[in-house]
Amino acid sequence: MQTGTGMSDLEGAIAELKEAYARGNPRSEARHQRARSSMPGGNTRTTLFYDPFPLVFGGAARATLTSIDGDDYTDFLSDFTAGLYGHSHPEIVKTIHEIVDEGLTLGGYNDYEAAFAHELCKRFPSVDLVRFTNSGTEANLMALATATAGTGRDAVVVFRGGYHGGVLAFSDGHSPTNAPYDFHIAEYNDPAGATTLIRELGDSLAAVLVEPMLGSGGCIPADREFLQSLRTETTRVGALLIFDEVMTSRLSFGGMQQRSNIEPDLTTLGKYLGGGMSFGAFGGREELMQRFDPSRAGAWAHPGTFNNNVLTMAAGLAGLRHVLTEDALHELNERGDRLRQSLTSIFERAGAPLRVTGLGSMLTIHPLTGVVHSRADLERSRESVRELLFFHLLADGFWLARRTMVALNLSITDEDCEALVTSVRRFVDRYGDILV
């Protein structure tokens, strides 16, 4: 259907919400325009950009973000899973204040890193030994370096829709800024195709790098059969299986590897595990990780000024010891499951062309019909509907990713979830006729 201006009803609804957004956020717009003079597009983190300009936040507490324009938003994104503890959790804030008073860049061993490493090794079944990095991207690069050095091979299998960091992105195939590994891209959740590719590469294959649930790629869980096929076939050809659990480690106390009962050779971690500080880690089988022992002859080097920075070590340790108990994580993931089921019920009852994927505390709303099993299925998405939903929720005071991804934090309540469900119900009631 077309409006009198030649614009479709859907386009007109989006334009109306964007105009209201621009009128309501003049300070954010001005801040964005100033930023353009010193950063390309006013941006240093591509994911956060959207048209006409991104919202700018000035503060946060618990599950609430406050923009510089003075509006509050319930944070249903939690910094793309990194903010699992919510904003300014008192236990972590107390720890950070203590550390700031003690000194920041110590330039040597500190009193927290070994205890933090011990906690991580206890939690994740495949991690016998661990080393720290500054981000999930860096952790994945180091895992690939471990695999290629350890096997003496070059080829790496990844999956369409996978995201393993800024230089390891495969949303739609190869990215021109990816690290120059010999990548071979397979389809996610296709065990037969992956098996064929792994066998074809054979003794040239160093590793298979996979997210046990696609995170940025749409919160699409891996079938256990798919993960088991990767475990079986990498073992068969002498390659390493790397689980990127930078996001998915939050889906059970021991990550998706515990949930699926499949152990990789190497695991990468990041995001929330640093207590809100910059963090990454890679770990795995003892015989692999011992190659980084600097007391051994011929040890592999892994320097890094901030690998053991005291803020991250102390905040991460405080979070694991005092906040993120098994019960707390279980409750968080159950809350996410209930939210996903409630949203699914709304769409099914209304016959709306929207689907919800995910597990536990992570989900994504997709503007399409039918099964979502791989990145290829998302090619049916109507991105204009996604844009409409994003700006509708923003107008109602809910912050989530422009790609309509949700990641709960520990401060989100059942009442917050019900408020989001109510807003989505209003969206379907108001726009249902133009979504099809």
Kind of pairing between the strands at 266-270 and 280-284: antiparallel
Per-residue pLDDT tens over the stretch 40-66:
999 999 999 999 999 999 999 999 999
Q: Residue 268 is inside which H or E element, if any? A: strand 266-270
pLDDT given at position 375: 94
Q: Three-state SS for 182?
A: strand
The closest alpha carbon to 244, from 291, 309, 320, 188, belongs to: 188
Task: Please spell the DSSP secondary structure of 269-286, one letter per residue.
Answer: EEGGGGTTSS-EEEEE-H
The conformation of residue 62, written as its DSSP 8-state character, comes to B
Straight-line distance from the first to the last Cα atom of the chain, in angstroms, rounded to the nearest whole number: 11
pLDDT given at position 1: 47
Distance of CA 266 to the CA centre of its chain: 18
Cβ atoms of 320 and 92 within 8 Å: the answer is: no
* Non-local CB neighbours of 40 within 8 Å, separated by 6+ positions: none
Q: Residue 195 is inside which H or E element, if any? A: helix 191-201
CATH architecture of 90-322: 3-Layer(aba) Sandwich (3.40)
What are the boundaries of each domain within the chain?
Answer: 90-322
Rounded CA-CA distance 108/142 in Å is 21
**What are phi and psi for residue 136, nearest 5 degrees?**
-65, -35
Q: Residue 73 is inside which H or E element, if any? A: strand 72-75
Cβ atoms of 226 and 186 within 8 Å: the answer is: no
Fill in the amino acid letter for 94. Answer: K
**What are phi and psi for residue 374, nearest 5 degrees?**
-155, 170
Residues lower than pLDDT 70 in the chain: 1-6
pLDDT given at position 4: 47
pTM: 0.96
pLDDT given at position 103: 86
